[in-house]
Structure 1
Amino acid sequence: MISRRAQIARLRRVAVAALRHYDLPEGRLRFVSHGENTTFRLSCPDGDFLVRVHRPQRHGRDSDTPAAVASEIAWLDALRAHTELQVPRALRTPDDAATVQASAAGMTRTCSVLHWMDGRIHESSPRPAQLRLLGEAMATLHHHADSWTPPPGFTRISWDASAFFGDVMIYGETPAAQCWELLPAELRSRFDAVAERMTGVLATETDVGLIHADLHLGNALFVGGQVKLIDFDDCGTGPRLYDLAVALWELRDGERYAEFRDALLTGYLGRRPIDVARLDDYIALRQLAFDLWFTGTAQVNPAFAADLDGVHRWSLAMLDLVEGGVSGRRVRVG
């Protein structure tokens, strides 16, 4: 495993190569994140932009990465055109391409550029008012997807049992089936039980459509009483209740969980109905998906590897919490 610094340096060269395809003046390129994709912030006379270097097979082993990213951008364009939601706006090349193929440091990657969005993230300092705003925005997102007809060639992740429990996804560079094998025995047994329970639930779920699939407070920007939604990289077709579960997942083990849950549901239900009877089951599903992703990413990312044992312990504690129906008890470990 090469060092994190070396990985970022190589991918920065790819980002620089990608920017040559856009009609932008020279500017300062600063590192933002290196997790699922690797991102950089470009500051130049034309404004600020988010440069995304997309991981191959990010959307599944058989996915077409350029088509998948272009499809994400197509939904963002539609949301901006037909709703009041504030979501990222893609920058297109002079020939109107939504993505480019860029090569450097012996690798070729799909890249895209979004206009930078300002705002404050409250993931570590949540307030009920923020959850209410997030619930309203999420309902608007789902309502739009109910009536929107995607363009030809639209392709995104299908968040079904095969994606959650099978070998469809590639995490880091590790197939999902191998990630299951890397789990500690006790956690593997507990996740097997979640998979057995949720396979039937997913098969009979009726409220299914396009979802964000990663809409927690870390992917919401708050400015002046408004919320902006970012990071649609996981978006695809799945149960709408999964989106609500993701929003509450990291709050589930906190003392104010009931307050946050009520605020999110108040916002959502004011705009769109939904059955939340299985909310805790979907929170368990999110914990499973997160741990598998973290396990695979840890095989190629030293920063993730250092935290992996703590994440496994947190998963066991979270399953104890949601399967026991307990509320408001801090269980985060590591």
Structure 2
Amino acid sequence: MRCWIALPEVTIDTETAIGAAAEAISEYPGYTINNLLNESENIIFKVADNSGKKAVLRIHRPNYQTSLGILSELKWMAFLFAKGIQTPEPIKNRSGHYITPTTNNLHATMITWIAGESLHALHEKYPEDSPAIDKIYCRLGEVIADIHNATDSFEIPAEFKRSSWDIKGFLGTNPLWGRFWENPVLTKVEKNFLLDLKSKLFMRLEQFLDDGADYGLIHADVISENVIVADGYPIIIDYDDSGYGFRMYDLAVPLYRFYPSPSYTRLAGLLKIGYQKNRSFSEKSWDLLNVFVLLRRLAMLGWVVPRKSPEEIATKTRDNLRVIETLVEEIDLD
């Protein structure tokens, strides 16, 4: 008999978040809360100042990022904004700080509002082979390259800490998003399959590092919900999962949901074209795209456990396993 895993709580109940937001907003003179915008992991409120200028107030989920981790995220975002990258700009509170603590041990931060429509919504609006979608993915590749280029000149402050999407972050004893091979839905055979796969991928990534993999700060979560499109131009938001990692991962994440659909190859090619307009990478790196899509799928097996209901965990685990098995058949890991 398999048991559900007890993992740290990584969500916030709505009532607690509303109370924290009401307390935090007083530290931003002239701002008032308009409405609760989104309840996913962080709780997001839409706010505005006296002139009507919009912003976002975030109540950060507990047990994920430390205050130093959050501050580091905002320092990197502020740097990117100053370098001309279109990204939300962090807003300081009345005391000149980026983070506002609340009495219930939560952290609040404010960033500028990015107007537009999410890429996720556009996917629902347009057909899969829409020229409008294709153009956005080409431009998205350019934007990801611009972020990587700008970040190469970022002088890491003395007080700076972000998680590492390195080999251990994906495949170590305690991966960032959980021990995916201990997902409670898995059978013993499936667990052993994943443990064997974990060992093979570990060696493949070690070889990639030895071959000179492009490694540095990455966004790490460029999913369609985190891309706002304004006048056809994609703007990446939500740097909550950012950290040190393989730059190829930032190209795999926007694509992982499409594999193995017919759209996958087309959108991957467009993303590559856009990226290579502004930043080069070796064909050997690009050949590992499916490996990084696989790593994302494995990470999702761990991510889902503390965040979803037992029924959703079962469904999403089965869906991910089907894709993982298909990827493994295509990738030569021996």
> Fold conserved (TM > 0.5)?
yes
- Amino acid paired to 1:238: G
Q: How many residues align?
A: 304
- Amino acid paired to 1:316: L
What is the aligned partner in structure 2 of residue 40 from structure 1? 45
Q: Give 1:210 shift.
A: 0.6
Q: Give 1:147 shift.
A: 2.2
Q: Give 1:193 shift.
A: 3.0
What is the aligned partner in structure 1 of residue 3 from structure 2? none
What SS class does the counterpart of residue 305 from structure 2 fall into?
Answer: helix
- Amino acid paired to 1:86: Q
What is the aligned partner in structure 2 of residue 220 from structure 1? 227
What SS class does the counterpart of residue 256 from structure 1 fall into?
Answer: helix
Q: Give 1:278 shift.
A: 1.0
1:118 aligned to 2:115? yes
What is the aligned partner in structure 2 of residue 21 from structure 1? 27
Cα separation, 1, equivalents of 2:200 and 2:49: 51
Select 2:140's aligned residue among 131, 134, 139: 134
Q: Give 1:200 shift.
A: 2.1
Q: Give 1:225 shift.
A: 2.4
Cα separation, 1, equivalents of 2:292 and 2:180: 23
Structure 1 vs Structure 2 CA RMSD: 2.3
The 8 Å contact of residues 165 and 176 in structure 2, kept in 1 or not, is answered as no
What is the aligned partner in structure 2 of residue 82 from structure 1? 83
Q: Give 1:10 shift.
A: 1.6
Select 1:144's aligned residue among 143, 150, 159: 150
The 8 Å contact of residues 118 and 229 in structure 2, kept in 1 or not, is answered as yes
What is the aligned partner in structure 2 of residue 315 from structure 1? 320
Cα separation, 2, equivalents of 1:151 and 1:231: 21
The 8 Å contact of residues 49 and 113 in structure 1, kept in 2 or not, is answered as yes
Q: Give 1:136 shift.
A: 0.5
User: Are the structure 2 counterparts of residues 293 and 73 from structure 1 closer, same or farther at C-alpha, using a change threshold of 3 Å?
Assistant: same
Of 232-241 and 119-128, the range deviating more from structure 2: 119-128
The 8 Å contact of residues 157 and 237 in structure 1, kept in 2 or not, is answered as yes
User: Are the structure 2 counterparts of residues 8 and 286 from structure 1 closer, same or farther at C-alpha, using a change threshold of 3 Å?
Assistant: same
Q: Give 1:140 shift.
A: 0.9
Cα separation, 2, equivalents of 1:169 and 1:18: 32
Q: TM-score, normalised by structure 1?
A: 0.84
Select 1:285's aligned residue among 290, 295, 309: 295
Q: Give 1:178 shift.
A: 8.5
Q: TM-score, normalised by structure 2?
A: 0.84
CA deviations 1:272-323 (Å, max 9, x no partner) are: 122211111111100011221111222xxx4xx4421111111111112222
- Amino acid paired to 2:92: R
Cα separation, 2, equivalents of 1:225 and 1:66: 35
The 8 Å contact of residues 179 and 295 in structure 1, kept in 2 or not, is answered as no
Q: Give 1:190 shift.
A: 3.5
- Amino acid paired to 2:17: L
Q: For structure 2, which runs of at least 5 residues remain unmatched after alignment?
A: 1-5
Of 158-167 and 177-186, the range deviating more from structure 2: 177-186
CA deviations 1:70-106 (Å, max 9, x no partner) are: 11111111111113x2101111012210101112xxx
- Amino acid paired to 2:117: R
What is the aligned partner in structure 2 of residue 62 from structure 1? none
- Amino acid paired to 1:154: F
Runs of 4 or more off by more than 4 Å in structure 1? 167-171
Q: For structure 1, which runs of at least 5 residues remain unmatched after alignment?
A: 60-64, 327-334
